[in-house]
Structure 1
Amino acid sequence: MIDITKEDIELILKKLLIQYSGQKSWKIQSLSNKETLGFLGDHLILKVYNDEKKIVDFFLKAIPRHVEKRMELINVCGFFIREVKFYEHFMPILDKLSSISFAPQFFFVKTEHFIVLENLKHFKTFSNQSRVLDYDHFKALMKTLAIFHASSIIYEEKFGELSEKELQMLREVSHPDDKNNIRSAGVESCIQVMIELIQLIPKYKNSMHLQEILRKFPFVMRSIYNYVKPSKKYRNVISHGDLWTNNVMFKYDSGKNIEECKIIDFQFARYSPPAVDITTVLYSSTTKEFRSMYYEEMLDTYYDSMKIELNRNEIDHEKALPYEELCQSMKKYRKGGLIEALLFCHLTLLPSDLASNVLNSSEEYEKFIQQTRIEKCMSAFEVQYYRDRLTEILCELIDNFVL
């Protein structure tokens, strides 16, 4: 049950440029009846009416109070509060400094309950079974991501380094370096899944190196905690932290050409080098074949967009973020991007029937976290798209950073 009041509705409408007079009524409905959309929140539509039957739509993201274990995870880890702080404090500043609107507009939050944002009804995710982006969509994302990161650089260049309070708002919540944190248990569970899957990959199951791989692999995976920390060597920016296919939306013209790209879901926002976001989405949302063909072009697209945005604000891009530094950091953070891709994809690529079952039942969610993750992922590994994607990522990580 969403606890929204008449006073809440009035506050939301005040942020619109168009005024709606008359008696207000509203209703909340699911964004989709087909499947659960969102691992860390329920995605809903808020429809507001007046006595003239005019309608305004908003996107409403709510804590899943009906699934106790998911709600507990969100509250303990502070995911919802993180997104609230990003939209309340950072987004108004970054949006003003940016040449485009790279994220949905923020309207209202009821702390620990829900957040109300612009309904991107004219935008769509580029969704396919394998959760990979094609050339045009990835290129559009690189341009938008560069402008988002540039707004962070512009902010610090104009107003000084982030304050301690602001850095605290961006402290790591996805992979905090704390063995007692529930997220650490998730990493360990993923490691156990991957250990089982590695032994099913023909390239490794009969290899003389199999035992060496199984011994070293967990230590490589645990380096994720260093990957997400602010860097002491490379420039840090306000980063998304959860960048994969479903967290990017596109708007098309009548000819189905991409007009706009927006980034959504900032519950993992952090302070890190730009390469952390880029490598995360590169390895979680493209194929090895795509990267071999377009890696340099996509990095150039990102940097060209960054350069234009910084120059527009009379900031020397070679001092703010040298191209050589970006290239070096991409190499350094490659391993982390592959690890993050495994942490994402073993869940996000689950067949929808398995994912919906897990996310919509508190009992099934607890079982998945504590008992059935290996079983379900092993079952999913029998499905070709899941097997192909996980195998590709595992092989690239093992061949380059384990052996």
Structure 2
Amino acid sequence: METINVTKNNNINKLFSFEEVKEITKRALSNDTNLIKYAIRPYSNGRLGYLSSHYRLDIIAMRKKETITLSFFIKAVPYDLPDSADYIIKKGVFKQETTFYSVIMPLLLEGYCGEPWAAMCYKVKSDSIVFEELSGKGYSIRDKLFDKSLICAGLSALARMHAASLLAETRLGTSLNRLYPDAFVERGYAHEGMTWEWMQSGIDVAAVIAERLGYDPDLIRSVCEEIHHSIKPSCTKTNVVSHGDLWANNLLFNNDVPPKCLLVDFQLLRYSPLAHDVAQLLYLCTDRNFRETWESTMLRHYYDTLQETLNMHEIRVQIPSWSELIEGMEEQRLGAVIATVFFFPTVLMNDNLAAQLMNNPASYVKFYFRDKKEFVLSNMKKDPVYNKRISEAVIELAELASRLDQLPKPS
């Protein structure tokens, strides 16, 4: 793969050449399709995610005297935001995703005959990826607090991805992280560089909020270190290819009843026990009341879908036990709560506010890596939903931290 230069010309029309778009068109349609023209434009005014820029590729093509119009979704290193691009390149998350789609995904899809769980990918370059355009097929991002039907759909997609991982490893006779260790390098949490600065700014704001709510800020600071135990492969439980970044915008749903879900954005890919993704989804996309009411039902839904997907294939896979999932959920609970404390101040902002923050280099650097306390506390006063969910996350973390020695440790 070519190397990435953060100072590269950020003219979006130079993301892909005519020949590359022609290749994409033929892959999506057929080899006898002729590309007539194409255009690339920004996908939206707001931020869809925080570790890339997003564009729409519109093409006009001809096949057997028929004119065809088709759109694609482009995800790219955000050269238009140099500070963000520099962070993303140093963090290695875009490389993580290109490796997933070029190396890991083909192995997961080989022989898989269950329902789809991710968007179709048509082209992978070192700094950009082209996908099917899902909005034209009725898929969309939903509100950042999911209801029961959306959680069921998201867990079904996770179960199918995890089943594909187990099927691939059974077929290959070895684990995917042993075959491709570089594909699963931990990118989300690290004790070095800009990622460590990002973590520290998140811990600082959580500690301030905890103190305002009457909890010990030092306890919050120390318990956040426990995140590193929850992201490692398990020595006692079944590990799978894990999404690792299951906040609301990374799950798209259609309008079927019940809805279908497709997962997007694999930049924080890791190799973890089954319950890792399950816990992350439940904590990042629901509130405490939902989990207390529906968690057991949701775990059963995930497990039934995993079994059903594995059983529809001829390859015989050793299916993890129900008790393993239950034990795993308890082991992953603390890590999932810590993840909400890191993620919520950013991902729960409204899209316009996020765009303003990201598009200003000075505010971006301050918020992500220096000091986000003033911004978060101010927004908590203005946005009651933002305030409620962040406060709830910090309170639950403080409660777990107070009995840390009694909690089951990831094993």
Fold in common (TM above 0.5):
yes
Following superposition, the deviation at residue 162 of structure 1 comes to 2.5
Structure 1 ranges of 4+ moved more than 4 A: 314-317
Query: Aligned with 1:15: secondary structure?
Result: helix
Deviation per residue, 1:162-213 (Å, 9 max, x gap): 353412211111113xx22321211111010011112322xx1xxxxx4xx2
Query: Aligned with 1:258: secondary structure?
Result: coil
- Tell me what 1:363 maps to: 362
Following superposition, the deviation at residue 93 of structure 1 comes to 2.2
Query: Aligned with 2:116: secondary structure?
Result: coil
- Tell me what 1:207 maps to: none
Deviation per residue, 1:76-101 (Å, 9 max, x gap): 01111111111111212212324111
Query: Aligned with 2:237: secondary structure?
Result: coil
Alignment of 1:140-151 (within 5 A): 140-151=153-164
Q: Which residue of the other structure, out of 58, 64, 75, is the alignment partner of 2:72?
A: 58
Following superposition, the deviation at residue 216 of structure 1 comes to 1.7
Cα RMSD (Å) = 1.8
Query: Aligned with 2:254: secondary structure?
Result: strand
- Tell me what 1:260 maps to: 260
- Tell me what 1:225 maps to: 228
2-structure distance, mates of 1:289, 1:226: 26
Q: Which residue of the other structure, out of 95, 109, 116, is the alignment partner of 2:130?
A: 116
Identity %: 29
Please tell me the residue identity of whatever aligns with 1:199.
Answer: E
Contact 2:209–2:394 at 8 Å: present in 1 too? Answer: no
1-structure distance, mates of 2:93, 2:117: 21
Please tell me the residue identity of whatever aligns with 1:351.
Answer: N
Q: Which residue of the other structure, out of 184, 189, 208, is the alignment partner of 1:175?
A: 189
Larger mean CA deviation between 321-330 and 179-188 belongs to: 179-188
Query: Aligned with 1:262: secondary structure?
Result: strand
Please tell me the residue identity of whatever aligns with 1:141.
Answer: G
- Tell me what 2:218 maps to: 215
Query: Aligned with 2:80: secondary structure?
Result: coil
- Tell me what 2:53 maps to: 42
Following superposition, the deviation at residue 214 of structure 1 comes to 1.6
Alpha carbons of structure 1 residues 19 and 314: separation in structure 2 relative to 1, 3 Å: closer
- Tell me what 1:83 maps to: 97
Please tell me the residue identity of whatever aligns with 1:14.
Answer: K
2-structure distance, mates of 1:106, 1:385: 35
Please tell me the residue identity of whatever aligns with 1:182.
Answer: M
1-structure distance, mates of 2:103, 2:254: 26
Following superposition, the deviation at residue 295 of structure 1 comes to 0.6
Alpha carbons of structure 1 residues 336 and 123: separation in structure 2 relative to 1, 3 Å: farther
Following superposition, the deviation at residue 50 of structure 1 comes to 3.0
Contact 1:243–1:277 at 8 Å: present in 2 too? Answer: yes
Contact 2:142–2:253 at 8 Å: present in 1 too? Answer: no
Contact 2:75–2:130 at 8 Å: present in 1 too? Answer: yes
- Whether 1:105 aligns to 2:120 is yes
Alpha carbons of structure 1 residues 323 and 49: separation in structure 2 relative to 1, 3 Å: same
Q: TM-score when scaled to structure 1? A: 0.90
Unaligned stretches of 5+ in structure 2? 1-10, 404-411
Deviation per residue, 1:289-342 (Å, 9 max, x gap): 11111111100000001111122225666x431111110010011000000111
Contact 2:253–2:259 at 8 Å: present in 1 too? Answer: yes
Following superposition, the deviation at residue 235 of structure 1 comes to 1.1
- Whether 1:28 aligns to 2:44 is no
Q: Number of residue pairs matched?
A: 384
Following superposition, the deviation at residue 21 of structure 1 comes to 3.7
Please tell me the residue identity of whatever aligns with 1:56.
Answer: L
Q: Which residue of the other structure, out of 153, 157, 170, is the alignment partner of 2:166?
A: 153
- Tell me what 1:350 maps to: 349
Please tell me the residue identity of whatever aligns with 1:91.
Answer: M
Contact 1:28–1:46 at 8 Å: present in 2 too? Answer: yes
Deviation per residue, 1:39-77 (Å, 9 max, x gap): 111111101113665211111011110111100111001
- Tell me what 2:294 maps to: 294
Unaligned stretches of 5+ in structure 1? 205-209
